[in-house]
Amino acid sequence: LDYASLDLNDILSDLNSLFLPIVQEKGLILKTNISDKVNQRFQGDRLRIDQVLRNLISNAIKFTKEGEVRLEIYEDPSDRDRLVFAVVDSGIGIPLEKQKILFEAFQQADGPTRRKFGGTGLGLSISREIARLLGGEIRLESEVGKGSTFLFIIPKSKVEVKEILTKEQRLVEEISSEVEEVIEIVKEDTYNPVTIRIPEEIPDDRDTVAEGDKVILIVEDDVNFAKALLKYTHTQNYKGVVVVRGDHALPAAQKYHPVAILLDIQLPIMDGWAVMDQLKGNKATRHIPVHIMSSLEVKKESLLKGAIDFINKPVALEQMTSVFQKIESALSRSPKKVLIVEENPKHASALSYFLSSFNISLEVKDNVEESITALRTADVDCVILDMGVPDEMGYHTLEAIKQHEGLENLPIIIFTGKNLSKAEELKIKKYADSVVVKTAHSYQRILDEVGLFLHLIEVNNSDDARRNNNGLGALTDVLKGKKVLVADDDVRNIFSITKALEKFQVKVIPAMDGKEALEVLTSGEPIDIVLMDMMMPEMDGYETIKNIRQHVDYARLPIIAVTAKSMIGDREKCIQAGASDYISKPVDIDQLLSLLRVWLYEN
């Protein structure tokens, strides 16, 4: 056992973070309370205590269809040196004759209960043994139809437990794999937007919105939280429109033209992800920056979907100041010029192409020195810096920009082909305002970021063809109907890529080696782009690409080299062999989609 000084508030905070999303999905209430008479600091094994409490609370939630689950913490009335963690539910209750055997491994009240609610597995049995190891016990008080109370009672400080049975030791060994029944609850009670109760609409400013008003659209079904956000919106001199269900978000955005949207994920009727798809798929709303708020840990998913940032709900109100500062800064800035720093001309061209749906001037530079010169001599409002894989040269560029007087507050968007570690992200964010990883949604995200920093909307142009052929509208259409030749000797790789591209109406032509790839091309089959595994038997990717380039018809055919992740200098070697671009294994489908769009948008 690993004893340490613990704080009851820390324990409750972590339990709330873990279980609140689950009880909200089930329509239950979770209450926690610490008695005023209890000293909040005590000695205990945090891991073991957490395991028991998680098991008891997860069971309480599982067997409660409606009502509440409570965790009460107080001193044991019969022994002031012991703490009582009482988990109380308003669930189905347990018959008296079944209570004695409930703690035996794999036991449950009866067959129908197991079929309806699922099993508790080894959870209760292990929890009882942990309580004994800690010098305490677990008691049960229950009545059928009225609910149950599990009392987890442990000493406030370390005690010597003289006798530990072999069976108990064996059970504790299995805790890590058996006790985490929270996962089962998530699986059994998955969030379903159709079944969530729709709350009453709350009064907002929709009836008083006039031309020129700055409006924030709040999409949130937690009425109290929505009211708090609306109140804060008013303190910042914005008007607020609140919708409490997902399917009302797009119509509200189209009608009230908000400068930003605060979006929850778990909404009635339509979830936040579907709302994002609607907003970003509509030319009238896709430029509006969306700030996703959620108690779930979905930061990565939010940013990949095109959100401008992710706000963790427990601290969302504290973060609102910085959110509104970001919005206000964008509104007050006059759009002028975007500088793109990109060494790969094709990537630079694609960025320029998609950004041309905005009424902005673009300048492209491919090295640090020219970039700094451009910043000194021209009014630039935003920089997009493609760092590829972050290296010292990229950091040098960032440092050089920020050290120049007058450029300290210049918005910098980092475009990178690598999923950053926490350390790398922190290092970059010392200089950059935003980091965008190259994925299926990355060009959409770049447009969102530029649109936020420069407060831009896509140009209203009577030429519908131009508007449809570039900007965000093109992102979903670039791949449609294209033919991709995939040369790989591993049929599993071909299958996974084929399945991923099918949904974009891309046709995959397979080739099991280099020779077969050449045969496909020489047969006259029209191919738009090639994915070439570089390490195939007989004729490898390097030789195959060189052979392809010898044909005048295929001199400009885009070829993406697929390389082993461990190869050093692979990019340069691939480019020298004639590849247009490269991606490393295992292939990240989002990044592959981004590359395909770069090389296919002109067609």
pLDDT in tens, 370-409: 777 777 666 677 788 777 655 666 677 677 777 776 666 6
- Give the tokens for residue 582: 């490269």
Where is pLDDT greater, at 368 or 579?
Answer: 579
- Give the tokens for residue 467: 């508007």
- Calculate the CA 80 to chain-centre distance: 45
Where is pLDDT greater, at 466 or 271?
Answer: 271
Domain 337-474 and domain 483-600 have a common topology: yes
**CATH assignment, 337-474:** 3.40.50.2300
Residue 84 is predicted with a pLDDT of 95
Residue 111 is predicted with a pLDDT of 43
pLDDT in tens, 342-357: 777 777 777 777 676 5
User: What does DSSP assign to residue 107?
Assistant: -
What value does the mean pLDDT take over residues 456-479? 47
Where is pLDDT greater, at 74 or 146?
Answer: 74
- 527-552 core/surface letters (b: 16 or more CB in 10 A; e: else): bbbbbbbbebeebbbbbbbebbbeee
- Residue listed under structure tokens 């779930």: 296
HSE (side-chain half, CA atoms, 13 Å) at 561: 26
pLDDT in tens, 72-88: 999 999 998 999 999 99
The fraction of the chain above a pLDDT of 90, given in percent, is: 22
All residues at 6 or more sequence positions from 450 whose CB lies less than 8 Å from its CB, including other chains: 338, 355, 358, 360, 382, 384, 413, 456
Alpha helix ranges (H) inside 257-383: 272-280, 299-305, 316-332, 345-355, 368-377
At residue 171, the 3 state secondary structure works out as helix
CA pseudo-torsion sign 493, 499, 502, 504: negative
| Helix (H) / strand (E) containing 514 | helix 514-522
Superfamily of domain 4-188: Histidine kinase-like ATPase, C-terminal domain (3.30.565.10)
pLDDT of residue 576 exceeding 90: no
Nearest by Cα to 99 from 135, 148, 170, 35:
148
Nearest by Cα to 142 from 83, 102, 107:
102
What value does the mean pLDDT take over residues 239-268? 93
- Give the tokens for residue 569: 């200098």
- Give the tokens for residue 35: 């008695």
**Is residue 57 a contact partner of residue 71, using CB atoms and an 8 Å limit?**
yes
- Give the tokens for residue 13: 């905070």
pLDDT in tens, 188-199: 445 566 667 788
Write down the pTM of the prediction.
0.39
At residue 219, the 3 state secondary structure works out as strand
Residue 162 is predicted with a pLDDT of 54
pLDDT of residue 185 exceeding 70: no
Q: How far apart are the first and last CA of the chain?
A: 65
Fold of the domain spanning 483-600: Rossmann fold (3.40.50)
Nearest by Cα to 255 from 229, 288, 232, 226:
288
**Is residue 92 a contact partner of residue 78, using CB atoms and an 8 Å limit?**
no
User: 548 vs 255, 484, 519, 523, 559, CA distance in Å?
Assistant: 53, 15, 10, 13, 10
pLDDT in tens, 295-322: 777 776 776 666 777 888 766 677 788 7
What value does the mean pLDDT take over residues 119-132? 68
Residue 329 is predicted with a pLDDT of 67
Alpha helix ranges (H) inside 38-122: 46-62, 96-99, 111-117
- Using only C-alpha atoms, the chain has a radius of gyration, in whole angstroms, of 29
Per-domain residue ranges of the chain: 4-188, 206-331, 337-474, 483-600
Residue 393 is predicted with a pLDDT of 64
The fraction of the chain above a pLDDT of 70, given in percent, is: 71
User: What's the CA gap between 58 and 21, in Å, rounded?
Assistant: 12
Q: What is the architecture of the domain spanning 206-331?
A: 3-Layer(aba) Sandwich (3.40)
Give residue 121's pLDDT band: very low, low, confident or very high (50, 70, 90): very low
pLDDT of residue 252 exceeding 90: yes
